[in-house]
Amino acid sequence: MKKLVLFSIIAFGGLIFMNFSRIDSKSVNPKNDKYEVPENVQAIIDRSCFGCHNSDSKNEKGKKKLSWDLMKKGYKTYKVIAKLSEIEEVLQKNEMPPEKFLAKYPDKKLSDEEREIMIKWAQDMVKKMSE
């Protein structure tokens, strides 16, 4: 009986130790170190995207779909790659920024050149992060 109690205590202590000593997968992600946003791309994001797509946005749908402030440190690598692919797709379909939003804020519209810059950047980042 004493052996069973002793074994239970040791097993419980081992479980507690393993729980507190695990590595946080979000903080150790070397591929996310490859994620870079050049100044020209950041300027486009700041002007036309960040208002709806950030953690503090009141636009629940927008921040649920994409949160720019989580791209470097919040999302795991596979999720960043997926988000970049989605960004490329919606920009190629000319779905972002949405027409309803642009009706209120026409200055946020992306030019064809800005759209191409964003698409090329997203494609390059997917390749770089997939290596």
- How far, in whole angstroms, is CA 36 from its chain's centroid? 12
Nearest to 91 by CA among 131, 48, 52, 35: 48
Tell me if 83 sits within 8 A of 69, measured CB to CB: no
Res 131: pLDDT: 86
Total number of residues shown for the chain: 131
Residues 6+ apart with CB under 8 A from 127: none
CA geometry: angle 59, 89, 31, nearest 5 deg: 85
pLDDT tens by residue, the chain, 131 residues: 766 665 566 766 665 655 554 444 444 455 577 899 999 999 999 999 999 999 999 999 998 999 999 998 889 999 999 999 999 999 999 999 999 999 999 999 999 999 999 999 999 999 999 98
Enter the tokens of residue 105: 């804020």
Tell me if 59 sits within 8 A of 40, measured CB to CB: no
Amino acid at 52: C
Tell me if 89 sits within 8 A of 82, measured CB to CB: no
Residues 1 and 33: their CA atoms lie apart, in Å, by: 53
Res 73: pLDDT: 87
Tell me if 129 sits within 8 A of 81, measured CB to CB: yes
